[in-house]
Structure 1
Amino acid sequence: MRAPSARVCHIDVAGTGFTVLDRIYADGDLAEEALGGSCGNVLVSLAMLRRQVAPVLTLGADDEGERLVDEFSQAGAHVQYIARREDVRSPVLAQELDTASGNHDFSFVCPDTREELPRYEPIGEAEVATAFPALNDCSVFYADRLSASILAAMRTASRAGALVYFEPSEIEEGDLLEEALSLTSILKYSEDRLGERLAGRRADCVQIVTYGAAGLEVRDGAEVVWCKAISAPRVLDTCGSGDMVSVGIIDWMLTAGIVGDSRPKVADLLQGIVAGQRLAAANCAYAGARGLFRSRGADFARAILCERYSAATM
């Protein structure tokens, strides 16, 4: 893996949002701890794939925060825009995995002590100001949560010409959402979670709507393309499948030069979507949202994205 560079260089992907320390309990026993959360998974995976990645985050000045920063650093990400604060506890999420079925549940309650675990804290104005160099010089800006400061970061990146990839898992009504949608280039969301909430909203962007194990739909105005999911030959854990699809899409956009001021079209993204679906299928054979990266390494993930290996070889 690359050591993080102290020199400021062009950033491929800057991003902010849900980043936590995952504690994975397999069949009731604590199996491992790893960086997790949709934003964390997407950014650290892209860094491991040798993209220039700048996480913009607020973490605690605690052991958990140190662990998260270290994982980003080891992956090669630029970690100078991760704030460490004494008044914040780094977020921890418990994932309980049934390895026989591949099903998983998430909780902010510790399975061992039943105590509340610390939750995610969005960036504030200070973090946005500090991260201005990255926000003003990135090709893609990624966010999976929304707040006033996250919207300010999105606005800054968009005005500088970045393509905005917005992947909300939950949203609230109000002006923040309306402006976020107006800045978004690619909107990816789950039909089960947000289909009703986003139905009828005007969004002048490509929409990627996921339907779980069935596949996903790519929409752009009246144009609709269905992408059937790629079957996973072995299912140990389905966690992180959606994140792997996003990794494939963003990685492909950077490879193909679908960045900057250009508005992506459905046809521009299909190859990246299918690459991400291959990666998601292969990842199901491993425990954890980034099990394939952790078990087989970034070169193996790159081979799957480039179709040198398929999920069937797992």
Structure 2
Amino acid sequence: MTRSIARPTIFGTGLVALDLVIGMDNEAPVHSWTGGTCGNVLSIMAYLGWDAYPIARMNGDPASERVRIDMGRWGVKLDFTDCAPTGHTPIIIQQIRRARDGSPTHRFLWTCPHCGQRLPSYRPVTQHSIERITPALQGASVFFLDRVSRAALTLAAEASRAGAVVVFEPSGKSEEKLFEEALQIAHVVKYSDQRLAETPAAKGGARATLLEIQTLGSHGLRYRHSLTGELSDWHTLPALPAPALVDTCGSGDWCTAGLLARAASRGLEGLRGCGENELVGALRFGQALAAWNCGFEGARGGMYALEKFEFDRQIDAIASGKPVLRVIERPQDPEASVACPACPPIAS
């Protein structure tokens, strides 16, 4: 394992999947991109200049190889993506459509539209991975998790002891005991009001939580923190105007990545030293990324449509209150098709 000089490092475990994105243009090809909350956040962090290490159980099936190629394109480090026992990489189908009022909507399919079988789902890393990964956590700035398991919590606790900010972004409550333990370990807890109406992470004696964020969709977000030693009131930040509204999928992942890029590069010590203005600036940067992402199909479609310099220019414009979206077509590498593992192979 090698790390770049002077680049902050993030490790993450949770949902790393292959997204098959079916856009509104029925004639357009189906895109196959890395997805899942963890997969998106770590890919975005690599795009923003971090060393990103996903921890997963890819077994070399076509879906996992497609994810590896896609992550490798953005500089994601693949050292810990084959943790034993390996298994099929999750596949998620995203369909983008227009509602009656013309607004974009999306839905996720978890079964194969061809054979009807359930697509491969998430399997957490196991305790077998701990000994191999723990030494690499030294010097990490952030440890991210979006699913709870005994191994994920063990790694999160080790990362915390090594000075990393532990970020927990649950999609729902499962395994109450492990969920509660994750809240006690995490320094940043972020969740959607549509999925978890109330997660009192910042309350309670032994909990480590320094920052709690509740996202409110098009209404923005609200947050509270204990960076000063006492729990603050809730503060609301309205959403920034999106330059275009094509698809909202993945915008929460961009918001997370933007916050971490600005507030967590120096690990837990750096987060603890954030003042209110610095924290708000980091959250607003995350919201600018989220607004920009709405202009593209898929959770990270804009990364494939624009050169990095144009991305930076457009984010600056959104943050300054003058949103602009200018898509510059650039050559796209053909994406390998990926079939459901249960489907019979197609004869060549």
TM-score, scaled to structure 2: 0.81
Contact 1:20 1:93 in 2 (8 A): yes
- Which one of 310, 320, 327 corresponds to residue 300 of structure 1? 310
* Aligned match of 1:272: 282
Task: Deviation per CA, 1:120-166: give whole Å up to 9, x if none.
Answer: 11111122322223323201111111111110110110011111111
**Correspondence for 1:79:** 78
Deviation at 1:58, TM superposition (A): 1.4
| Counterpart in the other structure of 2:263 | 253
CA RMSD of aligned residues (A): 2.5
What pairs up with 1:16-35 in 2 under 5 angstroms?
16-27=13-24, 29=26, 31-35=30-34
Structure 2 letter corresponding to 1:38? T
Report whether the alignment pairs 1:161 with 2:163.
yes
Shift of 1:231: 1.7
- Measure the CA separation in 2 of the matches of 1:136 and 1:307: 37
Identify the structure with the greater strand proportion.
Answer: 1
SS in structure 1 opposite 2:323?
helix
Give the TM-score taking structure 1 as reference length. Answer: 0.89
Find the counterpart in structure 2 of residue 51 from structure 1.
Answer: 50
Q: Does 1:211 align with 2:216?
A: yes
Tell me which residue corresponds to 1:240. Answer: 250
Moved more, 184-193 or 172-181: 172-181
Q: Which deviates further from its counterpart, 8-17 or 291-300?
A: 8-17
Q: CA deviation at 1:114?
A: 2.6
Closer, same or farther: CA 34–293 of 1 in aligned 2, 3 Å: same
User: d(CA) in 2 for partners of 1:309 and 1:297?
Assistant: 19
2: CA distance, partners of 1:16 / 1:33: 21
The aligned residue for residue 3 of structure 1 is: none
Q: 1:258 to 1:302 in 2, by over 3 A?
A: farther
Distance verdict in 2 for CA 1:182–1:307, change over 3 Å: farther
Q: Partner of 1:313 in structure 2?
A: 324
Q: Of the two, which has the highest radius of gyration?
A: 2
Residues 240-289 of structure 1 show CA distances to partners (whole Å, capped at 9, x for unaligned) of 1101101110111245x464475356543211111111111111111100
- 3-state SS in 1 of match to 2:87: coil
Alignment equivalent of 1:7, drawn from 2, 11, 15: 2
The one-letter code matched in structure 2 to 1:182 is Q
In structure 2, relative to structure 1, the CA distance for the partners of 1:51 and 1:199 (3 Å cut) is: closer
Name the aligned partner's letter for residue 221 of structure 2.
Answer: L
Q: Given the alignment, which residue of 223, 229, 250 partners 2:239?
A: 229
CA distance in 2, matches of 1:128, 1:56: 11
Gaps (5+ residues) in structure 1? Answer: 1-5
- 2:2 alignment partner AA: R
Counterpart amino acid of 2:173? I
Q: 1:184 to 1:267 in 2, by over 3 A?
A: farther
* Equivalent residue for 2:299, pick from 270, 289, 293: 289
Secondary structure of the residue aligned to 2:58 is strand
Q: Deviation of residue 306 (structure 1)?
A: 5.0
Alpha-carbon shift at residue 7 of structure 1 (Å) = 2.8
Change (3 A) 1:11 1:182: same
Tell me which amino acid in the other structure corresponds to 1:64: A
How far apart in 2 are the matches of 1:291 and 1:234? 13
- Which is further off, 56-65 or 189-198? 189-198
* CA distance in structure 2 between the aligned counterparts of 1:11 and 1:82, rounded to whole angstroms: 19
Kept in 1, the 8 Å contact 2:83–2:129? The answer is: no
CA distance in 1, matches of 2:135, 2:269: 16
Query: How do residues 91-170 of structure 1 correspond to structure 2 at under 5 angstroms?
Result: 91-99=90-98, 100-170=102-172
Deviates more, 1:126-135 or 1:40-49: 126-135
Task: Please tell me whether the aligned partners of residues 61 and 86 of structure 1 are also in contact (alpha carbons under 8 angstroms).
Answer: no
Aligned residue type for 1:12: T
Q: Which amino acid aligns with 1:280?
A: A
Equivalent pairs: percent with the same residue?
Answer: 31
